[in-house]
Structure 1
């Protein structure tokens, strides 16, 4: 397997999007490590929880309801949430002001506990994420899936991207391109496929000097339906 030069991927994306200037205007940029490290932990829990609820439900409906979630769950502050009993969580899951879904509500205390434990071992969850090496970014995905709740699949990575972390996403277009050139074979979420993808994007990063976020967006814009 030989990787296509990133310059060729970029030119194809630019041609499809009306030129380099138009393409650059479409690209979202990751935050600096310092800014990631400064994100309050409650904002991580809020973001994870929103993505969990958006899975299988209209994103717009969830966004419109989110102020009610913030109020119901103490603005997602970790300590007050960890003090709630199982009975209190069940009561909150019945609140008509939010979207009533017990198993999704119960992901909140598990993910709050994950964030709290990271604080004990790394200083803060934000610090752990900010310092995670890009060459092993898929291991951060695995960490969220293993230690959190309902953060597997695209939920964890999408939340990381939304929060400004420099990560690629395996959208339909990115996956299709990587399969076409032989980077991904078999299951998309296998360790082998994810490791090969991470390695390929690091190669393109060294070639282009761009972030993983930009590279995966450009790949998506270069082929398929542009699901970035």
Structure 2
């Protein structure tokens, strides 16, 4: 496996030097205290945004997001559990949002997940805050297991949006991991996730950078 210094230097050469690369990979991260303070409705909003952006034009979802917030009552998890069939029917016919029945149905399911996982910690943010970053893929798997339609990059993108330090399997990151034989299993498999996590942990020990910065550096070393 390449030492991270080699990866970083190649990325810097391709993107105008170390200073410019550091600006490109900068990612705002939240402290554990800040994550714990994020309210449950903001987690549900972020998961829902990533879910609707998956397979769709991101800009369109961002532009429509105020209407999503209105339609889903600010993504209050308790209110989402009270939605009845008539409200789902209205949502599925609401032209101000993207009408996708499975994704709309995922909102109350993920609201339940947020409430259940957060309950022992006093909130979902506190649950996330205590999760060790050297097992961030374990958090991905937990979201996939207990949530609905939160597999792939949907969970990681939602987490990163709120300041969680996580890598993301973008096309360039996947290409790097496969080309350099960092993983020899599917990146959606538990073996592949463990191999990727081990590599990112080693690169973090070598560089002192965040998982997000390392992830972006891998991408810039390829493209």
Provide the TM-score with structure 2 as the length reference.
0.95
More off after superposition, 31-40 vs 208-217: 31-40
Q: Distance in 2 between matches of 1:91 and 1:201?
A: 45
Q: 2: distance between equivalents of 1:130 and 1:81?
A: 24
Matches within 5 A, 1:49-64: 49-64=48-63
Q: CA RMSD of the aligned region, Å?
A: 1.3
**Structure 2 SS opposite 1:110:** helix
Moved over 6 A (4+): none
> 2:119, 2:167 → 1: CA distance?
28
Is 178-187 or 122-131 further displaced after alignment? 178-187
The 2-side partners of 1:220 and 1:146 are apart by 28
The answer to whether residue 5 in structure 2 is matched with residue 15 in structure 1 is: no
> How far apart are 1:187 and its partner, in Å?
1.6
Unmatched 5+ residue regions in structure 2? none
Listed one character per residue, the Cα deviations across residues 128-155 of structure 1 (whole Å, up to 9, x for unaligned) are 1111111211111001111111110111
8 Å CA contact 1:90–1:102 kept in 2: the answer is no
Q: Equivalent residue for 1:176?
A: 175
Counterpart in the other structure of 2:4: 6
Q: 2-side partners of 1:221 and 1:195: how far apart?
A: 23
1:131-170 mapped onto 2 (5 Å cutoff): 131-170=130-169
Aligned to 2:210: 211
| Count of residue correspondences | 222
For the residues of structure 1 that align with 2:135 and 2:185, how far apart are their CA atoms? 20
